[in-house]
Amino acid sequence: MPTTPPVKPSAPALAAHVTPGTPRSQAKENRRQALLAAAAALFALHGFNRVSLEDLGAAAGVSGPAVYRHFQGKQAVLGDLLLTVSRELLDGGRRVIAETTDPLAALRRLVGFQVEFALGKPDVIRVQDRDFSNLSQKDQSEVRALQRNYVEIWVEVLSLLHPGTDAVELRMRAHATFGLINSTPHSVRNHGRKIAHKTARPLLESMALAALTVDVPEAP
């Protein structure tokens, strides 16, 4: 496959979680993060199967073989990308629960957190939607487990706002809301024009909260 030109990510694909260490270990972690950011941008633009290790290295400013200093191969890059972001979502959801006692306030924070993620990392959402099947079976199972646990945080909060409602319905509300918010990579563009985040954010948050808090009318 012809080597694609370097792609500059619109925003960092992932937030770095770095343990203080030597300058050399810091530089290694920075390079790893640059490779993940390049992977998010390139996989989103071209698809996993059309991007080579040489493409990733070029976009991050290293040679293709140098990628192996950080990852076992391209599939490992994809796995690290989606596993890391899934852990970040779960950790963020847990922080909301730990820091907020009022269920409505907690729900507002969860919605704001998810919207911020969707607006900040649209490339990762595209990659998850299109290339999840290219993960190894082990990584697929782990990503699913992390994301199920994240959903259950939402269900826990929703159960306090809708007492007596079956958990299946609450999960449906949560998944439908994720679908609304995570459509951002597509919905913020209108005939090639990008909608500003300051406009998209309150609209997405208000729509999501309305869907999550509306009472279901009784059947006639």
- Residue 11 — very low, low, confident or very high, per pLDDT cuts 50/70/90? very low
User: What letter represents residue 87's amino acid?
Assistant: R
User: In the block, which residue shows the tokens 């960092």?
Assistant: 12
Judged on CB neighbours under 10 Å (0-12, 13-18, 19+), 132 is middle
pTM of the model: 0.82
The amino acid at residue 84 is: T
pLDDT per residue as tens digits for the range 47-89: 999 999 899 989 988 877 888 888 899 999 999 999 999 999 9
End-to-end, the C-alpha distance of the chain in Å comes to 60
Q: Are 39 and 56 in contact (CB under 8 A)?
A: yes
Q: Confirm if 37 and 13 have CB atoms less than 8 A apart.
A: yes
Which of these, 1, 2, 76, lies nearest to 35 by C-alpha position?
76
pLDDT at res. 220: 53
pLDDT value for 5: 37
Q: What integer best gives the mean pLDDT of the chain?
A: 85
Lowest mean per-residue pLDDT among 12-16, 24-28, 81-85, 202-206: 12-16
